[in-house]
C-alpha cells in the first residue's frame, strides 16, 4: 500500500519529508511483531500512528486498545494492565482480567509510557521478554501474545539517568523508534491542515468556510504552535464559530492566538504586524521588537553609507589591501572595505567607533535573550529555539559563539 492511500485512509494531512519518513517507517514495521516507540511532542498525533501499525498488521482482525499510562493512578495501574484476584486489595470484590489478558492476539498501545511507575515497568519488561505475567494477588504465571506499541513526549534516556525509567525497558521498547514531527518542523503543512479543519467545521456547523488572507496565513505559519495539531484544530474551530467575517486578516487572527510570552510577538515581528492598538502585550515583546528593529536599522545604515561612498567615487587604497583599515594623512577618518565589494568606504573615525559600540550592544542583547530562554526552559534547546523563533541549529551555533554556559 502506497503512502498516499495510507494518508487518505487515516486522514493524514501533509507532505513534509519528516512526516512522510515517519509514515514510511510505520508501514514497513507494521507487518512484523517488533516493539515500536513513537516519540513526539504533545498533540502531534502519535495515537494515529499506532492505529496505522495495527490496521496494517496480521493482528488487524483482533483487539486493539489504547491505554493512557498517565491517566491511571499508580495504585491501580497493575490491576488495569495485568488483572487481579478477588480479595487481593481493598475493593477487589471479584477477580478481574487485565488488558494483557483480554487483548491477547491483538495490539496494546501504551501512551505516555514515561509516566508508568517503576514497579509496573518491571512487570511490562517481563511481558516483553517472555510473554508472561501474573495477576495482582496471584502466584499463577499466565501467558499472553500481545504486540506492544508505546508513545511518549518525554526524553526516556534522560528519565533513565534520573532513575525514573528503566534503561533496559527503554531499549526493549524502542526496537523501532518513530519520531512524529511537530508543526514547527513541518510548517509547509500548516495551511493545508487549517483549510482541512476549517472545511470540516464549516460542514459541522453549516456555515461558510473561513479563509485566511496571505498575511494571516504567514502569521499562522510563523506561530510556534506548542500544542501542535490539537491546538491548530482548536483555533480553526474557534474562528469558524466566532468570526462573523469569513476572510480572516492578521488583526482578526491575533484575537484567537493565545497570549503566550514571546511566541506571539515573534510571529508578529516576522510578519511585520502588531496588535490592534499598535502595541505589544508585554515588556519582553517590546524588547524583542527593539532587538530586531535595531538589527534592521544597522543593515540599512551600512547600505546607505555604501551607496554614498560609491556615488562619491572613493577608490581602493594604493596598497590594494582591503582586509585591514587604512588611515588617511589627517587621521580624521578611516577607510574600511564594504561588504561584497572591492571598493572601500570612507567613514569618520567617530562613526566607526559608534558602529562598533552598537554592534557590541546588539551582541550583548542577543546573548542575554538566549541565556534567559535556556534558563527558562531548563536547557531544553528545542523549547528555547521555538520561543526565540530560530532553528535549533542556529541556537547551537549561537551558544558556541557566545560561550553560553547552559
Which three cell numbers, joined as nine digits, stand for 192? 493545508
pLDDT, the chain, mean:
82
Convert the pLDDT of each residue in 204-215 to its tens digit. Answer: 999 999 999 999
pLDDT of the residue at 396: 82
> Distance between terminal CA atoms of the chain?
46
β-strand partners of 326 = 335
Convert the pLDDT of each residue in 119-154 to its tens digit. Answer: 999 999 999 999 999 999 999 999 999 999 999 999
Top pLDDT among 294 and 15 is at 15
Residue 167: its H or E element: helix 167-173
pLDDT of the residue at 79: 95
| pTM flag (> 0.85) | no
How many CB atoms sit inside 10 A of residue 322's CB? 17
Whether the Cβ atoms of residue 236 and residue 198 lie closer than 8 Å to each other = yes
β pairing state of 344-348 and 333-337: antiparallel
pLDDT of the residue at 227: 93
What is the sign of the dihedral through the CA atoms of 321, 322, 324 and 327?
Answer: positive
pLDDT of the residue at 128: 96
pLDDT of the residue at 390: 81
Is 54 exposed, middle or buried, given 0-12, 13-18 or 19+ CB atoms closer than 10 A?
Answer: buried
Same fold, 3-181 and 188-271: no
β-strand partners of 111 = 68
Say which DSSP state 334 is in.
E
Is 392 exposed, middle or buried, given 0-12, 13-18 or 19+ CB atoms closer than 10 A?
Answer: middle
Whether the Cβ atoms of residue 267 and residue 224 lie closer than 8 Å to each other = yes
43, pLDDT greater than 80 = yes
The structural domains of the chain, with segments of one domain joined by +, span: 3-181, 188-271, 286-402
**Which residues make Cβ contacts (< 8 Å) with residue 132, sequence separation at least 6?**
126, 141, 142, 143, 144
d(CA 108, CA 120) in angstroms, rounded, equals 15
Convert the pLDDT of each residue in 278-336 to its tens digit. Answer: 444 444 444 555 555 566 566 666 666 666 666 655 544 434 444 344 444 443 333 33
How many CB atoms sit inside 10 A of residue 292's CB? 15
Give the largest Cα separation in the chain, rounded.
Answer: 101
Was domain 188-271 assigned CATH 1.10.8.60? yes
Strand, coil or helix: 84: strand
Q: Report which of 106, 189, 92, 194 is spatially closest to residue 138, judged by C-alpha positions.
A: 92
**Which residues make Cβ contacts (< 8 Å) with residue 226, sequence separation at least 6?**
41, 260, 263, 386
How many CB atoms sit inside 10 A of residue 103's CB? 22
Convert the pLDDT of each residue in 105-119 to its tens digit. Answer: 999 999 999 999 999
What is the sign of the dihedral through the CA atoms of 182, 186, 191 and 193?
Answer: negative
Instruction: Label residue 278 left, alpha or beta by phi (over 0 means left) and psi (-120 to 50 means alpha).
Output: left
Convert the pLDDT of each residue in 198-237 to its tens digit. Answer: 999 999 999 999 999 999 999 999 999 999 999 999 999 9
**Residue that has been written with the C-alpha cell 551600512 in this structure:** 302
Buried b (16+ CB within 10 A) or exposed e, 162-173: eebbbeebbebb
pLDDT of the residue at 292: 56
Strand, coil or helix: 253: helix
Was domain 3-181 assigned CATH 3.40.50.300? yes
Which three cell numbers, joined as nine digits, stand for 58? 496480521
167, pLDDT greater than 50 = yes
Give start and end residues of each alpha helix (H) in 56-166.
77-82, 99-102, 118-130, 156-161
Amino acid at each position: 500500500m502506497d503512502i498516499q492511500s495510507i494518508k487518505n485512509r487515516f486522514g493524514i494531512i501533509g507532505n513534509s519529508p519528516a512526516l512522510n519518513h515517519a509514515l514510511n517507517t510505520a508501514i514497513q514495521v507494521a507487518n512484523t511483531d517488533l516493539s515500536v516507540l513513537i516519540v513526539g511532542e504533545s498533540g502531534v498525533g502519535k495515537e494515529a500512528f499506532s492505529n496505522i501499525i495495527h490496521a496494517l498488521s496480521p493482528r488487524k482482525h483482533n483487539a486493539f486498545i489504547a491505554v493512557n499510562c498517565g491517566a491511571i493512578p499508580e495504585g491501580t495501574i497493575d490491576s488495569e494492565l495485568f488483572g487481579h484476584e478477588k480479595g487481593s486489595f481493598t475493593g477487589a470484590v471479584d477477580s478481574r482480567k487485565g488488558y494483557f489478558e483480554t487483548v491477547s492476539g491483538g495490539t496494546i498501545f501504551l501512551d505516555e509510557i514515561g509516566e508508568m511507575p517503576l514497579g509496573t515497568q518491571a512487570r511490562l519488561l517481563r511481558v516483553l521478554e517472555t510473554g508472561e505475567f501474573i495477576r495482582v494477588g496471584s502466584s499463577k504465571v499466565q501467558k499472553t501474545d500481545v504486540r506492544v506499541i508505546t508513545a511518549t513526549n518525554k526524553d526516556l534516556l534522560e528519565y533513565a539517568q534520573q532513575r525514573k525509567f528503566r534503561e533496559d525497558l527503554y531499549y526493549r521498547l524502542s526496537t523501532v523508534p518513530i519520531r512524529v514531527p511537530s508543526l514547527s518542523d513541518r510548517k509547509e503543512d500548516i495551511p493545508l491542515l487549517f483549510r482541512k479543519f476549517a472545511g470540516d467545521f464549516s460542514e459541522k456547523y453549516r456555515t461558510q468556510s473561513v479563509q485566511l488572507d496571505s498575511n494571516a496565513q504567514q502569521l499562522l505559519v510563523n506561530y510556534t504552535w506548542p500544542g501542535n495539531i490539537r491546538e491548530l484544530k482548536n483555533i480553526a474551530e474557534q474562528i469558524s464559530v466566532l468570526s462573523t467575517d469569513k476572510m480572516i486578516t492578521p488583526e482578526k487572527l491575533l484575537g484567537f492566538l493565545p497570549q503566550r510570552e514571546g511566541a506571539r510577538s515573534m510571529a508578529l515581528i516576522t510578519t511585520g504586524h502588531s496588535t490592534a492598538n499598535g502595541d505589544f502585550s508585554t515588556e519582553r515583546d517590546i524588547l524583542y521588537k527593539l532587538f530586531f528593529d535595531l538589527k534592521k536599522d544597522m543593515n540599512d545604515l551600512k547600505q546607505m553609507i555604501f551607496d554614498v561612498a560609491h556615488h562619491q567615487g572613493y577608490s581602493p587604497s594604493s596598497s590594494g589591501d582591503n582586509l585591514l583599515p587604512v588611515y588617511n594623512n589627517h587621521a580624521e577618518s578611516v577607510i574600511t572595505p564594504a561588504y561584497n565589494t572591492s571598493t572601500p568606504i570612507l567613514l569618520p573615525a567617530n562613526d566607526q567607533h559608534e558602529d562598533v559600540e552598537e554592534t557590541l550592544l546588539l551582541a550583548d542583547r542577543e546573548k542575554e535573550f538566549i541565556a534567559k530562554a535556556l534558563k527558562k526552559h531548563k536547557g531544553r534547546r528545542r523549547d528555547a529555539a521555538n520561543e526565540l523563533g530560530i532553528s535549533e541549529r542556529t541556537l547551537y551555533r549561537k551558544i558556541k559563539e557566545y560561550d553560553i554556559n547552559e
